[in-house]
């Protein structure tokens, strides 16, 4: 493995709106392994079981039919709690190492879903290592 393949790279998706259940897509440029997923909210999103926000980062694959969840986060009080304004919070990565591998040409979805009247703008940073 050369130095280039060991290098950590990242892509920033957003800004997106929690109020609109926004979804953005990223086409993976190289075979890679997801190292981390972080979400940062402009104004924060409170921990609340009624007005909450869920983030799912899913690998649709190259054909668009995949469903492997790479990372997720949920602001309900019983889950990860609030997003603090302007603080990058780590999402929960898939615990199966092979599920964190993505191939060149795979399409990765970054989708936020709101419960109740949750609002707020956010961005997601996906860090990955090429392989």
Residue-wise pLDDT tens digits, 87-100: 999 999 999 999 99
Q: For residue 2, what pLDDT band results from cuts at 50, 70 and 90?
A: low
pLDDT at 33: 97
Q: Which position has the higher pLDDT, 79 or 67?
A: 67
pLDDT at 107: 98
pLDDT at 47: 87
Q: Span 42-50, mean pLDDT? A: 89
Kindly report the pTM of this predicted structure. 0.92
pLDDT at 97: 97
d(CA 26, CA 3): 24
Q: For residue 41, what pLDDT band results from cuts at 50, 70 and 90?
A: very high
d(CA 39, CA 49): 19
Asked whether 16 and 110 are in contact (CB, 8 A), the reply is: yes
Handedness of CA 114, 117, 118, 119 (dihedral sign): positive
Residue-wise pLDDT tens digits, 5-23: 568 999 999 999 988 889 9
pLDDT at 72: 97
The tokens describing 12, both together, are 């920033």
Domains and CATH numbers, the chain: 3-130 (2.60.120)
Local structure of 68: helix, strand or coil: strand
Asked whether 91 and 35 are in contact (CB, 8 A), the reply is: no
């Amino acid at each position: 493995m050369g130095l280039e393949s060991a290098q950590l790279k990242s892509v920033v998706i957003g800004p997106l709106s929690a109020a609109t259940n926004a979804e953005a897509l990223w086409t993976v440029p190289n075979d890679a392994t997801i190292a981390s997923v972080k979400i940062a909210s402009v104004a924060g999103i409170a921990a609340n079981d009624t007005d909450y926000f869920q983030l799912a980062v899913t690998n649709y694959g190259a054909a668009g039919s995949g469903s492997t969840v790479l990372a997720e986060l949920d602001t309900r009080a019983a889950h990860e709690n609030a997003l603090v304004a302007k603080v990058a919070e780590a999402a929960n990565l898939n615990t199966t190492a092979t599920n964190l591998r993505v191939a060149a040409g795979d399409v990765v979805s970054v989708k936020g879903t709101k419960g109740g009247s949750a609002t707020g703008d956010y961005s997601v940073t996906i860090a990955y290592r090429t392989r």
